[in-house]
Amino acid sequence: MVWKGLDDPRTGEVMPFAKNFAILFIAPVLAFSQSYTASVRGVVTDSSRAAVPTARVVITNVDRKTQHETVTDSAGRYAITALPPGDYSLSAEAPGFTMYARGPFSLQVQQQATIDVELALGTLATAISVEASAPLLNATIATLGQVVENKFIHSLPLAGRQPLALVALAPGVTPSNLSPGGQSNTNFVANGTRNSTADVLLDGMSVTNVEQNSGITNLEYQPSVDVVQEFKVQTNFFSAEFGNTGGAIVNVVTKSGTNDLHGNIYEFHRNSALNANNWFSNRAGRAIPDFSRNVYGGTLGSPVWIPRLLNGKNKTFFFFDFEGSRQDNATTRNVTVPTLFEREGDFTETRASNGQQITIFNPFDTYTADGRTLRRPFPGNIVPQSMFSPMAVKALATYPQPTSEGNPFTRTNNYFAQGVNSSKGNQLDIKIDHNISDKQRIMSRYSLNFGSSMPAVLWGSIADPFSNGNSSSRTQNFVFDYTRSHRAVTLITVRYGVLRQHAQTIPIADGFDPTSLGLPALYLTSGLKQHPTFSPEGYQETGTVGWGRIGRGDDDNSFSGSITRIVSGHSLKLGGEARLKRLNYLQPGYPQGHFSFNRQVTSEDPNRGNSKQGNAIASMLIGWGSGGDYHLDPWSAAASQYYGVYVQDDWKLTRKLTLNLGFRYDFDVPRTERYNRLSWFDFDAPSPLAGKVREFADLKGQFRFTDENTRRPVDGDYNNLQPRVGFAYALNDKTTVRAGYGIFYAVSRATIKGHLGSGFQTNSTPEFTRDGGLTRYASLDNPYPNGLNLPPGRSLGAATFIGLGIGTDSRPNQNPQYQQWNFSIQRAIPKNSVIQVNYTASKGTHLYFGGGVTNRNRLDPAYWSLGRTRLNELVPNPFYGIITNPLSKLSQPTVTLNTLLRPYPQYGGGVSGSALNIANSLYHAVQFQFEKRFSHGLAFLGHYTIAKLIDDSSFSDGNVGWLGGVTDVQNPFNLRLERSLSAMDIPQRLVLTFSYQLPIGKGKWIGSSWNHRLDMMLGGWEVNGLMTFSSGFPLNSGLQFRESPMQGGTLWEGVQRPNLIGDPRRTGSVEDRMNGYFNEAAFSRPAPDTFGSMPRTLPNYRSPGIRNADMAIFKNISFTESRYAQLRLEAFNLTNTPTFGPPHMTYGAANFGVIDTYASGRGPRELQVAVKFYF
């Protein structure tokens, strides 16, 4: 039943493959090929440096014995392209010269190697062999980044067995949550660009999808470690062949079969018995939580052999892998639940952090003093049961009883529970490579990932607020690649790919009847049964997790191709790309209702917060809430397209100088919905009420709908022109200088969206008060006395939602833009090593501004001088009799003054459009790199970055706050004050990694003469490590709601910041400052309805940084030359050094300045054991 709506009701098919292929195949653009292959170019000369024309140059894949050949032109130049990464040898010959042979050497993903050949006079029967690796220096293109080789991918300790965790080996890449080596997704910052905007290419095709309506990308499929050959992370100035990203390009290449049968089988295991306890559990005397994880699988590659039909040696190869994972991990929660006394209405023991009793006031017993309406306290601080809401009593019964006393005064954190989350996953890949001839090659790969998870139930009932419910997913990826060379100077590449995902999450309370709690029958309107959610301020909420029910079906089809032409010194590439994205989606928020409660309701003055007054449970008991939701949001079926065309010329102007000249044009075609159920708001069009209300003769604002003629609610951005220019200059054979500048456009929020337009989906918010909290209008037992806000569709036309609030699209749209530039110097040094110094920079404009600026119906602070009492005063309503919707407060004879002072007074709530493209960023960095390619048993890679990132918003949307970087706006009318250090700024970062085969064993420094048996026992040791040292993120602060009269409520949606009146720094270790990370005296509370002086982020104070070492030791036991076993012991956070999370930053809260968690993705020391068998 949950999958209903994923199929096309007109055809009965699920996003049909054939139709999508046809649409893309006839796309009116030349397709674009995002290449992962390498190339070799150079000049063939004689000993006098004179060019040798018509020389024959042959490059041979060592493992497959496949060959590619060409002849030099009149200037002696040659180029061989489309070489899959791997080991090669090169030969050159010409009449009258000896044969030249070089290799074996490795070519990396996207490497453009330059190998010049000098032929000696003689006969072809004489050969000169050169033992040399591929060039270390990049003398052809100005791109900055890092190739992560096969050796590191397979040897470094990876806790999650996810190869893209190693993207942080590239300089300038910073995981947004400080997790070791990055995340499995695209959630990292690359040289100052926004996190989660990278594009990941797998065998040349994108495996990322846009997170619906957010401007970020998600990684839909990631291959297992043992199937990855290598990958390249590009972080600044890509070739024009790459686009549709403002972040990094991660180009991953999977393994292929070879002429010999090779493979492996393996199992990795972790459990709690091998782990250390975390710092906080140790302090609390709690045991290590139960944990168990097994990852197992294997690979197999060889020529395709079918008896009597096909012998694929040197021609046709396959590679197959499978990996399964099973994990059970304990999860714990230490939260605050109502005490037994509070559930009975007795608040005599409810106290503040200083032990003072919290006074509970009766909002139905009021008096007037100094023009303010105030409340009297409940006698004895006890709420009489005669005032209890029956619904509240039943809702409170879903809370478990406290398991401890908690804090001796506040009774916070008085409930502790633990349980086990279980998950399992499986994935496989099968890849076929076929060489039709030495000029034609095809490759195809099919990948499948499927799994499920079952979360722990920690609440003792289906009202568990920690469990989203049981989840399952299935992801498929297919790619087909055809390459043809013509006369050794022209290369044609065509590629097609499909990325498809189905996923669902079903709440554990699925099927629960909300009317059993006493809610009216209208709560069955959504057709989705689950437990309502109750959120009292200061307590853990109870009920079904909001937005937890999910059903989705994604389908991405990509068609691409390119033509490369080698002409004189030019390597000219012309190409284009088309992507068609489709999404069927359901995520209805709170389809059975959500109710929130605050302490203001039971405070003396509802408009002036006081931390010693009021309690949210008391407010809940009397049935007076502060807000809520009821979502009616059915399945949607959206689609969008993306097109890109480009030309790139890498012009070898001289033997030392190469120019990189490129131009690209991208276009995101905005989304449509299958049944045109989308809408937008025109902020400047005349309102349907214009001229009908005497006091507001020139009202603006009109609701609009898509239809067959106007199917897109958002304008397309036709200005995504992207020139790119760079150069690479070889000062000599050991030093190169490179520089580049380019313009890049990130993913637009105008792409596929998983929700319908306003008018076709609604959210009903209960109006518990209509006069600023002075009197109650609706109650918890009857939260919608006038009914729900039902979706009207397009029946009301431009008058839709007049009198209510609006949240929908707005037509203006621009793709976020980045300008990137760099300058670098490379120097080859002995021992197969290279050092590099980079200056890199980026400037972002038209970025999405997250943090509370989308509502255009805010009250201007200029009106604050009237005072809250006056602004909340009821005045004659000029819309009375014109707006008659009973759900609207504008249908009443009187309305609050502040409603009429807003820009769009005809709407009784917020008027929000799409996220605004008004944010900016600026990044500068100096980076130092050192790399030693694997030789003599050692490989080493390291980088050190000094950087500064400034912006005025660090994230794109409040709906993706889980990505990190969230900061809220204080004054939306003066965004210039938001400019500060970015919430994602990391000023210093050092990453070191190595792989070292110890010189112990037969033929080595120690044990060189050992026999085979002794070598099996004592030789074959290998040590690998990854060390990370990093600064923390800048801190930011806002006032707690109950302490900030300005924040929230009906007058203001900004976040009031405290005043910064001193130096917040404190001396001592982090451990010494866990309960007071900084000097609280450096902050003060601003006066009511004024702005605090603290900037968006603190300029000189940060969260704790990183000091982490992950290490692994291997024992290789060789049986034959190609068969051996490998025993592995891996340690994550070897020294068990805690990486603490940031302190709580809500000024006025009891935990302000307190650190009580590890940084996300970090933990205590964990050990992993593994065995692998290679054959």
Q: What is the distance between the alpha carbons of residues 237 and 248, in angstroms, rounded to a whole number?
A: 10
Flag whether pLDDT at 2 surpasses 50. Answer: no
What secondary structure does DSSP assign to 937-977, as a single string? TEEEEEEEEEEEEEES-S-S-GGGGGGS-----S-TT-GGG
Q: What is the pLDDT of residue 216?
A: 80
Which candidate, 513, 539, 538, 537, places its Cα nearest to that of 593? Answer: 513
CB 612 within 8 A of CB 352: yes
What band does 27 get if pLDDT is binned at 50, 70 and 90? very low
Write b or e for each residue in 653-682: b if 16 or more Cβ atoms lie within 10 A of its Cβ, otherwise e. Answer: eebeebbbbbbbbbbbbbbbbeebbbbbbb
Flag whether pLDDT at 719 surpasses 50. Answer: yes
In the numeric block, the tokens 């699988």 are attached to 297
Q: What is the distance between the alpha carbons of residues 148 and 166, in angstroms, rounded to a whole number?
A: 8
Q: What is the distance between the alpha carbons of residues 58 and 94, in angstroms, rounded to a whole number?
A: 12
CB 113 within 8 A of CB 39: yes
Cα 875 vs. chain centroid, distance in angstroms?
48
Instruction: Tell which wins on pLDDT, 34 or 477.
Output: 477
Q: What is the distance between the alpha carbons of residues 1104 and 1029, in angstroms, rounded to a whole number?
A: 11
The 10s digit of each residue's pLDDT in 593-622 is 999 999 999 999 988 778 899 999 999 999
Residue 396's alpha-carbon distances to 591, 857, 1114, in angstroms, are 20, 36, 55
Residue 756's alpha-carbon distances to 37, 257, 583, in angstroms, are 41, 47, 12
Which candidate, 856, 819, 848, 665, places its Cα nearest to that of 748? Answer: 848
Does this model's pTM top 0.85?
A: yes
Q: What is the distance between the alpha carbons of residues 661 and 573, in angstroms, rounded to a whole number?
A: 11
DSSP 401: P
CA angle 553, 429, 446 (to 5 degrees): 55
Q: What is the distance between the alpha carbons of residues 424 and 430, in angstroms, rounded to a whole number?
A: 21
Flag whether pLDDT at 864 surpasses 90. Answer: no
In the numeric block, the tokens 């959504």 are attached to 526
Instruction: Name 1073's Cβ contacts closer than 8 Å, sequence gap at least 6.
Output: 1066, 1155
The encoded tokens of residue 305 equal 């052999």
User: Parallel, antiparallel, or unpaired: how do β-strands 440-454 and 533-536 relate?
Assistant: unpaired
Which candidate, 451, 450, 454, places its Cα nearest to that of 470? Answer: 454
Q: What is the pLDDT of residue 754?
A: 80
Q: What is the pLDDT of residue 212?
A: 66
What band does 213 get if pLDDT is binned at 50, 70 and 90? low
CA angle 753, 789, 761 (to 5 degrees): 15
Q: What is the distance between the alpha carbons of residues 352 and 693, in angstroms, rounded to a whole number?
A: 50
Instruction: Tell which wins on pLDDT, 698 or 284.
Output: 698
* Average confidence (pLDDT) over 206-228: 87
HEC sequence for 93-111 = ECCCECEEEEEEEEECCCC
Residue 10's alpha-carbon distances to 20, 635, 638, 706, in angstroms, are 15, 16, 15, 21
What secondary structure does DSSP assign to 281-335, as a single string? HHHHTPPPPPEEEEEEEEEEEEE-EETTTEE-TTTEEEEEEEEEEEEEEEEEEEE
Flag whether pLDDT at 291 surpasses 70. Answer: yes
Q: What is the pLDDT of residue 1038?
A: 82
The encoded tokens of residue 311 equal 């012998």
The chain-wide mean pLDDT, for the chain, equals 90
Q: What is the distance between the alpha carbons of residues 176 and 1045, in angstroms, rounded to a whole number?
A: 33
Q: Which amino acid is at 637?
A: A
The 10s digit of each residue's pLDDT in 465-523 is 998 899 999 999 999 999 998 877 899 999 999 999 999 999 999 999 999 999 999 99
CB 341 within 8 A of CB 382: no
Q: What is the pLDDT of residue 909?
A: 86
Q: What is the distance between the alpha carbons of residues 351 and 737, in angstroms, rounded to a whole number?
A: 67
HEC sequence for 798-837 = HHCCCCCCEECECCCCCCCEEEEEEEEEEEEECCCEEEEE
Q: How far apart are the first and last CA of the chain?
A: 47
Beta-ladder partners of 51: 45
Q: What is the distance between the alpha carbons of residues 649 and 662, in angstroms, rounded to a whole number?
A: 6
Contacts 24+ apart (CB under 8 A), 374-382: 374/604, 374/605, 375/602, 375/603, 375/604, 375/605, 378/347, 378/618, 380/348, 381/346, 381/347, 381/348, 381/350, 381/357, 382/345, 382/346, 382/347, 382/348
φ and ψ at residue 1014, rounded to 5 degrees = -65, -35
Q: What is the distance between the alpha carbons of residues 1024 and 273, in angstroms, rounded to a whole number?
A: 23
Which candidate, 811, 666, 536, places its Cα nearest to that of 244? Answer: 666
User: Parallel, antiparallel, or unpaired: how do β-strands 735-745 and 228-236 relate?
Assistant: unpaired
In total, the chain counts a number of residues equal to 1175
The 10s digit of each residue's pLDDT in 1133-1148 is 999 999 999 999 988 8
Instruction: Name 12's Cβ contacts closer than 8 Å, sequence gap at least 6.
Output: none
**SS3 (DSSP) at 1123:** coil
The 10s digit of each residue's pLDDT in 524-552 is 999 999 999 999 999 999 999 999 999 99
What band does 126 get if pLDDT is binned at 50, 70 and 90? low
* Average confidence (pLDDT) over 921-926: 98
Burial class from Cβ neighbours inside 10 Å (0-12, 13-18, 19+) for residue 1067 reads: exposed
**SS3 (DSSP) at 1:** coil
Q: How many other CB atoms are there within 10 angstroms of residue 1084's CB atom?
A: 15
The 10s digit of each residue's pLDDT in 806-830 is 888 889 999 999 999 999 999 999 9
Q: What is the pLDDT of residue 474?
A: 98
* Average confidence (pLDDT) over 1018-1033: 96
Flag whether pLDDT at 961 surpasses 50. Answer: yes
Write b or e for each residue in 262-283: b if 16 or more Cβ atoms lie within 10 A of its Cβ, otherwise e. Answer: bbbbbebebbbebbbbbbbeee
Q: What is the pLDDT of residue 134?
A: 67
Q: Residue 387: how many CA atoms within 13 Å on its side-chain side?
A: 19
Which candidate, 460, 464, 454, 619, places its Cα nearest to that of 531? Answer: 464
